[in-house]
Structure 1
Amino acid sequence: MGISMLMCTQTQPLPNVLTRGLMMDIFNPHRHKDKVVFVMGATGTGKSRLSIDLATRFPAEIVNSDKMQVYKGLNIVTNKITEEERRGVPHHLLGIVNPNADFTANEFCDKAALAIGSIVSRGHLPIVVGGSNSYIEALVNDEASKFRAKYECCFLWVDVSMPVLHSFVSDRVDRMIENGMVGEVRKMLDTNNVDYSRGIWRAIGVPELDKYFREEAYLDEGTRSRLLEEAIYEIKRNTCRLACRQLKKICRLKNLKGWKLHRLDATDVFRKHGTEADEAWERLVAAPSSVIVCEFLFGGRRRVSFQCHGRGLHHCSCH
């Protein structure tokens, strides 16, 4: 039985004139607020990919706002971006917290504010990326409005049609299993005291596999295989449910809280494969986002244009 299809390029940097312009703008004495870019979206929509694209086009550093990726360990389960995928871009709040600890929204706000301040002090653009919208909301809409008073925010929302995303999420879980997720969870469970209400143990994939681990030693091979398939099915279903909840929260921020979100529809990207998918990503997500960020940073003083030919940017200009 399926869950609605089992339901939920490297790019070239912008020219030196843009990098120099950003540095000059950051240190402009007439500038009233520092600027922060947020990359939002449901799980699996390509937030990390977009953040890297932007950070290789602008002098930027990335602050993780995913509440599971902030913990140490379970890199496959939590789908942490790899060192190779980071392409040398500095990342903050990624894999820094004890897996048994509770990392609250208040703690996130404190550490994120420090990281953002540090990034700005180096003349770089902070890019906050992650699917934990409750963390982002707590940071931006703090009670005293300190963040909004200090920073101007640009919100990029990578959106994918739910049926298409659900199919992708199902395939991604299969790849995670192939990459060793079951063994990764087993090893962590064997070496830690587990409380499924705390820390990294709330991550989708851990409780679903726990039942399998508890019973596998007493079962024949056929029953073990069936039980593992059931656990994988539950992981896929719960991941799709998470994507739906995340989308609802984003819509609430947009429609009820009045956040100005720049929606980037990546659905067509996920319907394609290989080079065609890369070209669609550049055309529909990466290049438009770069334009939005350039206008956010420089306002009417500069205009950026991109011409996309194949993979990457054939030409871009900012003037």
Structure 2
Amino acid sequence: MLELNNDGIPFEAQIKKQKTLFILGASATGKTKLSIDLATHIPAEIINSDKIQVYKGLDIVTNKVAEAERKGIPHHLLGFMDPEADFSAQDFCTHVHMAMARIIDNENIPIIVGGSNNYIRTLVEDPRANFKANFDSCFLWIDVALPVLYERVAKRVDEMVEAGLVEEVRAMVAPGADYTRGVWRAIGVPEMDDYLHAEKVMADEKTKKFLLEAAIERIKENTCKLVDSQLWKINQMIHELGWKLHRIDATSVLETSGEEAVEAWEKVVLEPSLAIVGDFLEGRE
């Protein structure tokens, strides 16, 4: 039997839940950008929920947001783990709860953003953590039509190569490394093994060029497979777990470039997201 107060309201119902935001989506959809944009409009701090971005090093491969792009917004669980350490879903939950406590003490809203949906599912659904009883959550899902997203993935891999992906992997990873541990699991590392080995044995330039091109193509293919897996897990959240996700279609943003893309982002992603978050924070959702 529920214990009631003098007004007949259950004591349990008087507990005010803390507000938290989640930004979900496949790779290359703009999750990080949206989290930072939102945090410039509301008092918020960002918690990374990408299980590879928690590790130190390989910033290009893991696509960590650069300090200069964070607009002064505090980021948590980003680049703090030893590259070879294990970091389980339960470890993630423990660190998220600690980060959320600090953020709430600062009177800010936690924004949890990243593509590791199994970790997010564990955080929200684990009955031992009682997350749903303590937090009122709003879920934003940035979605992009698959053909457009696959093209964006390929372009982003090319941009990462231009930014120094090959040099970064060469500097940190030895051929034949254990690609089942830590940051070495990141897409962009195992795929480079044949090329790194060819460099080590001083293969001819034609062979190295062939192996490098093959590695880059595998990175693109494996990232597209990751996208498929991420979307499958998001659909599980909706259809099996009953999560209410606010879908934001960002396809038109990726179909354009330059100033047109900036305008499209503001109109079709940021403005609707701000409206949803405003309603959520004001209790109108």
TM over 0.5: yes
Contact 1:76 1:176 in 2 (8 A): yes
Whether 1:116 and 2:97 are equivalent positions in the alignment is: no
Partner of 1:199: 182
Contact 2:20 2:111 in 1 (8 A): yes
Q: CA deviation at 1:194?
A: 3.2
Note the aligned Cα RMSD (angstroms): 1.5
Q: Tell me, in whole angstroms, the C-alpha distance in 2 between the residues paired with 1:193 and 1:233.
A: 20
Contact 1:47 1:130 in 2 (8 A): yes
Partner of 1:292: 276
How many pairs are equivalent? Answer: 271
Q: Which runs of 4+ in 1 moved over 3 A?
A: none
Contact 1:100 1:194 in 2 (8 A): no
Note the alpha carbon deviations across 1:162-194, whole angstroms, 9 max, x for none. Answer: 11000011011001001100010011114x993
Q: CA deviation at 1:121?
A: 1.3
Query: For 1:33-182, what aligned pairs fall within 5 Å after superposition?
Result: 33-144=17-128, 146-182=130-166
Whether 1:215 and 2:198 are equivalent positions in the alignment is: yes
Partner of 2:247: 263
Note the alpha carbon deviations across 1:75-103, whole angstroms, 9 max, x for none. Answer: 00000000111010000000000010110
Q: CA deviation at 1:219?
A: 2.0
3-state SS in 1 of match to 2:56: coil
Question: Unmatched 5+ residue regions in structure 2?
Answer: 1-13
Q: CA deviation at 1:31?
A: 6.4
Partner of 1:305: none
Note the alpha carbon deviations across 1:261-313, whole angstroms, 9 max, x for none. Answer: 00000001100011111111111111100111110000249xxxxxxxxxxxx
Q: CA deviation at 1:143?
A: 2.1
Query: For 1:1-12, what aligned pairs fall within 5 Å after superposition?
Result: none
Q: Tell me, in whole angstroms, the C-alpha distance in 2 between the residues paired with 1:288 and 1:262.
A: 10
Note the alpha carbon deviations across 1:225-271, whole angstroms, 9 max, x for none. Answer: 01100000000000010011001100110111100000000001100
Whether 1:231 and 2:215 are equivalent positions in the alignment is: yes
Which of 260, 266, 271 matches 1:282? 266
Counterpart of 1:201, as a letter, is W
Q: CA deviation at 1:220?
A: 1.3
Counterpart of 1:286, as a letter, is L
TM-score w.r.t. structure 2 length?
A: 0.92
TM-score w.r.t. structure 1 length?
A: 0.83
Question: Unmatched 5+ residue regions in structure 1?
Answer: 1-29, 302-319
Q: Tell me, in whole angstroms, the C-alpha distance in 1 between the residues paired with 2:206 and 2:212.
A: 10
Q: Tell me, in whole angstroms, the C-alpha distance in 1 between the residues paired with 2:106 and 2:245.
A: 27
